Structure 1
């Protein structure tokens, strides 16, 4: 039996619909407005992250060679020459037999190549007793360890989630180029449909579908345009559809 309207499988219907889709034009928006949006540009790292070698632990910046053989029964005694908090740098060098008290995130001072954790030391006035030897680079986050300058971090087409937003902030992007949100017109049809706040009448149903569909549009990043209810009339249907197009529906 032949028909003017042959049936399509779900897959065929979906493929036909998707074939008509094209990426929407880009727009530059503030960082906080990018959640759920899709990047329209490649984002590269313009600097190393971290930008400087820094301490991964609270402790003492030392020369690893000075801690050789250190242990609970034979600690190594180093002179504390400076305190260094996160957010600050120092020109005070770590020389042989010395240490700098350092906090997590503070840049490694000149001359130091390792950090001994507080838990592996004992403070003795202007001295520190090191109870465990450390290797070169131990408890140190190297410059560029997380991200290398020039690396492609987020390619275009990436959906922005909280981790991506945090990375863009770390890279210094206050505004980002993303694809515009699709504007979706929603039209309810039928003589039996009434507005949600209208008094119920026998044979009528409230316009629940428009709001359920609008919620789906919002959930997946679109902008719903509610066109109201069109009666079972060709002229009214045509007018409502034209109104949706005039309001910028995609």
Structure 2
């Protein structure tokens, strides 16, 4: 058996390089950017009006008041999408709409409420400063500015900005492809109401399907495999044909006569990275590699499978998406003494109390049994406690959120 740090180190050394694809901007939603995005053009693209009003020259309006208005000849109009083609001359003004291009010659916008239009003349009765209500080209950013950083998850906000600067195709990390197969002749579908006394409802398939999606992966297929070597071999070969980045097996990785995952993996060409870790739960975890495909043989016990997924599969899915982690950990203080008197690293499930203006605290949930699904349902996360170690109250510990 190897230690948890040794297992994580071996895994990091064997992670495949993430793949980069270019997708239309609207298909980038929820994906991670594979490089910094620089804008090909400035924002705003052109100098425009921030208000409905009149574009004029500052020299014509700088001294106006209600008692001393300026009378300017209306030379035309600049509308959004239909700019004024001429040059605003001395003594002239042009009607202008919000967002419309500021005409050449004009440098100031006077709001409608500060004017009085009469025929082909507009009276200007107030103007605070030169350049008032003008949006200048490039005032937000100039062409070549980095507007989004590598690794950013694209949301609707980013889609808006990418579209605004004309970014049609954007580089993102390809979504990791995951194949899942669940071993166990004793398993019944979770929706079956009437099952045999010797059967158990399958909770691993629904759990792992959702866990893959939560971690940004795409499930390409899911199979139920009976405890038979040849069937297991065929299922692994099929998963490889789907060009999966990760193959997740649930069950069949221990030392029983009907545990075939390890042998089947070797038969189809996988090279073992490690098998069995000094940890609980999840001791029999098996990890192998063929080409750029990683195979995780998770324990069949649902809690053990979930904890191995959290500690090993999620970091692998993160790496395939170009980042070090998908979930941020936090530092918290132990509320009570937390002891690991055993010889294996313990993934202890905890609740987190996080109140304003205080350091978060954690305490173990009462039931830690690896056969108890409530030990992950009632917990907010887990802490890693090394063998023969006791955390005292108020000791700081890193907490990994579920």
Normalising by structure 2, what TM-score?
0.55
Indicate which of 157, 175, 198 corresponds to 2:151.
157
Secondary structure in structure 1 of the residue aligned to 2:85: coil
> Relative to structure 2, which stretch is displaced further, 14-23 or 92-101?
14-23
Distance 1:22 1:56, change over 3 A: farther
Q: Deviation per CA, 1:145-203, whole angstroms, max 9, x where unpaired?
A: 12211222234333222222222212222222222110112222333322345563134
Indicate which of 186, 208, 212 corresponds to 1:217.
212
Indicate which of 156, 162, 166 corresponds to 2:160.
166
Residue 88 of structure 1: aligned partner: 82
Whole-angstrom distance in 2 between the partners of 1:42 and 1:186: 33
Residue 191 of structure 1: aligned partner: 185
Distance 1:125 1:212, change over 3 A: farther
Q: CA contact under 8 A between 1:188 and 1:210: conserved in structure 2?
A: yes
Secondary structure in structure 2 of the residue aligned to 1:39: coil
Are 2:169 and 1:140 equivalent residues in the alignment?
no
Q: Which structure is richer in relative contact order (CA contacts within 8 A, separation 6 or more)?
A: 1
Count of aligned pairs: 244
Q: CA contact under 8 A between 2:77 and 2:83: conserved in structure 1?
A: no
Whole-angstrom distance in 2 between the partners of 1:136 and 1:194: 77
Secondary structure in structure 2 of the residue aligned to 1:32: helix
1:32-43 to structure 2, matched below 5 A, reads: 32-43=26-37
Q: Can you give the 5+ residue segments of structure 2 that lack an aligned partner in the other structure? A: 246-402
> Relative to structure 2, which stretch is displaced further, 132-141 or 204-213?
204-213
What is the CA distance between 1:120 and its match in structure 2? 2.2
Whole-angstrom distance in 2 between the partners of 1:144 and 1:233: 66
Residue 244 of structure 1: aligned partner: 239
Distance 1:15 1:239, change over 3 A: same
Secondary structure in structure 2 of the residue aligned to 1:122: strand
Distance 1:20 1:70, change over 3 A: farther
Q: Deviation per CA, 1:95-130, whole angstroms, max 9, x where unpaired?
A: 222210001111110110011111222222222222
What is the CA distance between 1:15 and its match in structure 2? 6.5
Residue 194 of structure 2: aligned partner: 200
Whole-angstrom distance in 1 between the partners of 2:163 and 2:215: 23
What is the CA distance between 1:143 and its match in structure 2? 0.9
Q: CA contact under 8 A between 1:24 and 1:181: conserved in structure 2?
A: no
Whole-angstrom distance in 1 between the partners of 2:233 and 2:139: 60
Secondary structure in structure 2 of the residue aligned to 1:100: strand
CA-based RMSD = 2.6
Residue 46 of structure 1: aligned partner: 40
Q: CA contact under 8 A between 1:194 and 1:229: conserved in structure 2?
A: no
Are 2:78 and 1:98 equivalent residues in the alignment?
no
Higher strand share: 2
> Relative to structure 2, which stretch is displaced further, 238-247 or 84-93?
238-247
What is the CA distance between 1:14 and its match in structure 2? 6.0
Residue 266 of structure 2: aligned partner: none
Residue 71 of structure 1: aligned partner: 65
Normalising by structure 1, what TM-score?
0.84
> Relative to structure 2, which stretch is displaced further, 134-143 or 99-108?
134-143
> Relative to structure 2, which stretch is displaced further, 94-103 or 198-207?
198-207
Secondary structure in structure 2 of the residue aligned to 1:74: coil
